[in-house]
Structure 1
Amino acid sequence: MKAIRFHDRNDLRLEDVAAPGPLRSDEILLKPIFCGICGSDLHEYAHGPIGARRTAHPFTGASMPQILGHEFSATVEAVGDNVANVKVGDRVSIQPQMSPKDHFGRKGWYQLSPDFAVVGFSWQWGGMAQQAVVKDYNVFKVPDDVSDIQAALVEPAAVAVHAVDRAGISPGNSVLITGFGPIGALCAMAARAAGATTIFVSETNEQRLAQVKDLVPEAITINPRNGDLVQIIQQHTIEGLGVDASIECAGVEASVNGCIDATRPQGRIVQLALIPERVKTDLLKLVFKDIDLRGVIAYPTVIWPRVLELISSGHFPVERIVTSTVAMEDGISRGFDLLLDPSNREMKVLIDLR
């Protein structure tokens, strides 16, 4: 079968690989439908290995070369003897995190387990292939009114919903989103679904800034290179105090400090973007403003049905962030390589595996 495999930094190949063998009792054979190219996939390709491993993973035993793809929808082709939650023919959305049944695994906080793994990074199979194998707890049946494209976007949508939860956003709140890539866009949409009534988006890329109005028309857009972020936010918040919450999705020092300056006293800041280098900031501002600064990584696995319900209800139209779908044969050139080009105009690219 065909699969897109990561061999090493800047070495991604579409190649023939052996099809899956017999299933274990708790495993499911899938036929992927759509698979998203995530920022973490791009980092893996351009700067990795990061999630993929040169040596066997302690929990799954997986090692490079690695089939990529952790944001995908699929059809069930076969099930192991003990699988009871889905049947052959079901459409499913994949929750890609895996964990042993340790303290965090039992609670559904797989991403906090020291031995956690991810389908498409540290498990033998991934969604960028004609077939994939996962565990029974990795699949959730998709309602009839959720499309295959929407089902492939539940994973990044879950990241956004969890960030909004951590930000404590409730009806009537104001929120600042810094960075308007796919996750920033989903955070803005999730904040609106949670009841935020004043949404600010800060972005230095004018092309991305123009996309805000298509996805969140009521949002107030700010390019901090051209305008005073804090002053603009003060003009649109109660008594000029600042936003109730900020979600940092840009991953740069200036955005972190912008969030601190723009958030009201006793507000909340969620750091969602990964920043590999140390950041210089004024912690006295956090102290004197009595602000909560919260880290967030991935999501609790129990969030999946809730995200599916949000999408099904129409309150969270995640499919609107998709700007292109490409065939598997074009996944590297018109997917990965294109997205890594700074001049590209794409927001979200899905690989069509049909």
Structure 2
Amino acid sequence: MKALRFHAAKDLRVEHVDNPDAQPPAGQVLIRNRFVGICGTDLHEYAYGPIFIPVEPHPFTGAHGPQILGHEFGGVVEAVGDGVSDLAAGDRVSVQPLIMPRAGDSYTDRGLFHLSENLALAGLSWPWGGMAEYAMLNDYNVQKIPDEMTDEEAALVEPTAVAVYACDRGGVMAGNSVLVTGAGPIGVLTLLAARAAGAEPLFVSSTNPARLELACSILPEVIPINPHQERPGEVVRARTEGGVGCDVAIECVGDEHALKDCVDAVRKQGIVVETGLHPHENPLDWFQVTFKDIDVRGSWACPTHYWPRVIRLIASGLLPAKKVITKRIGLDRAVVEGFDALLDRSGKKAQLKILIDLAA
């Protein structure tokens, strides 16, 4: 089968690899992949990796490079192994990519599977990923989707779950004012998740004017802010009750200036949620953190039990995740028209979510 594999930084190759076994082992599921999204994590691996891709065999999965990329994907079940009772050949599915021991460490024993010290991910530290024609997965990684959900939307459950979790970490509820820094796919999905929770007003800050324009086309009610032209904190305070700032600020870039803008914009006793991954240490104004009596919370990936909830949110239309899709390409064009296009900041046409169509 054809697969897109990471060999080293700036070295992705579409090549032929052996298919998974036609008959899955006990407890596993073989799926024919349909759509897969290119994630910011994939871009970082391509540009600077290996980061999460193990050089030595992963301690739990044994996986190592070359690695089939892709952890935002879905497909159709081809076959199931012994002991799999809730899936059957022909089922359309979304993939929950987190892989870990099901018991035996202090986090998995408490059901906090996404925090396991032995965590692996399909498409990063598992032999299979979404950027290939087929993938073999554990039964707990495969969730059936309803008829009203499209194959494209199945590939959006993972990034949407990250966005929903970020809002949950911030305690976002109806009537909250929310600032999101970053107008990339996770930032826009976080805005959609906040709106689905009833938040209003919504603010988005980005230094990319084209992405700000895209965010406003998806959510016309959002208040855009370009920090190169105005201070996010001042804009937020001017548009919130009492001029005190927003209830929740969610950082979706991994940028120190964006996080500092969140601390500045949030009201006293507000909540700042850090979702973006920072490449280095970030010195905050800790006097302001203490003086404003605010919470600063991390938001890592998402709990594995979010899949049914997020599928319902998308399938119902309450959270229209498909609005972030800006381009669809075939696997053979994925490097130049996908990875390189997303890393090119000089292009006039901004991209949010590029999906690879494995049937193209």
Partner residue in 2 for 1:335 = 338
1:349 aligns with 2:349: no
SS of residue matched to 1:103: coil
Partner residue in 2 for 1:111 = 114
TM-score by length of 2: 0.96
Partner residue in 1 for 2:145 = 142
CA apart distance, 1:276: 1.6
CA apart distance, 1:190: 0.3
SS of residue matched to 2:107: helix
User: Mean Cα displacement is larger for which, 222-231 or 175-184?
Assistant: 222-231
* In 1, Cα distance between equivalents of 2:60 and 2:212: 42
* In 2, Cα distance between equivalents of 1:113 and 1:42: 24
Partner residue in 2 for 1:131 = 134
- 8 A Cα contact 1:4 1:129, kept in partner: yes
> Counterpart amino acid of 1:242?
G
Partner residue in 2 for 1:17 = 17
Partner residue in 2 for 1:259 = 262
SS of residue matched to 1:323: strand
Partner residue in 1 for 2:85 = 84
- 8 A Cα contact 1:109 1:299, kept in partner: no
1:320 aligns with 2:323: yes
* In 2, Cα distance between equivalents of 1:107 and 1:46: 36
Partner residue in 1 for 2:195 = 192
- 8 A Cα contact 2:61 2:125, kept in partner: yes
Counterpart mapping for 1:127-276 below 5 A:
127-276=130-279
> Counterpart amino acid of 2:7?
H
Partner residue in 2 for 1:121 = 124
CA apart distance, 1:103: 2.8
Query: C-alpha offsets along residues 30-59 of structure 1, whole Å, 9 cap, x if unaligned?
Result: 100000000000111111111111211110
1:38 aligns with 2:39: yes
CA apart distance, 1:329: 1.1
Query: C-alpha offsets along residues 189-232 of structure 1, whole Å, 9 cap, x if unaligned?
Result: 00000110100111111111111211111011111111132221
> Counterpart amino acid of 1:190?
A
> Counterpart amino acid of 1:119?
A
- 8 A Cα contact 1:327 1:353, kept in partner: yes
Q: Equivalent of 1:281, from 284, 290, 306?
A: 284
* In 2, Cα distance between equivalents of 1:63 and 1:234: 48
> Counterpart amino acid of 1:259?
C
* In 1, Cα distance between equivalents of 2:354 and 2:67: 20
Segments of 4+ moved more than 4 angstroms: none
Q: In structure 2, do the counterparts of structure 1 residues 342 and 108 end up closer, same or farther at CA, with 3 Å as the change threshold?
A: farther
CA apart distance, 1:336: 1.1
- 8 A Cα contact 1:74 1:93, kept in partner: yes
SS of residue matched to 1:258: helix
* In 2, Cα distance between equivalents of 1:187 and 1:134: 28
Query: C-alpha offsets along residues 128-159 of structure 1, whole Å, 9 cap, x if unaligned?
Result: 11111000000110011111111100000000
TM-score by length of 1: 0.98
- 8 A Cα contact 2:93 2:154, kept in partner: yes
* In 2, Cα distance between equivalents of 1:220 and 1:249: 16
> RMSD of aligned C-alpha atoms?
1.0
Q: How many residues align?
A: 354
CA apart distance, 1:99: 0.7
CA apart distance, 1:238: 0.9
* In 2, Cα distance between equivalents of 1:57 and 1:277: 24
Partner residue in 1 for 2:100 = 99
> Counterpart amino acid of 1:319?
K
- Give % identity: 49
Q: In structure 2, do the counterparts of structure 1 residues 144 and 182 end up closer, same or farther at CA, with 3 Å as the change threshold?
A: same
* In 1, Cα distance between equivalents of 2:220 and 2:110: 38
CA apart distance, 1:84: 1.0
Q: Equivalent of 1:304, from 293, 304, 307?
A: 307
* In 2, Cα distance between equivalents of 1:12 and 1:109: 33
SS of residue matched to 2:282: coil
Partner residue in 2 for 1:5 = 5
- 8 A Cα contact 2:269 2:292, kept in partner: yes
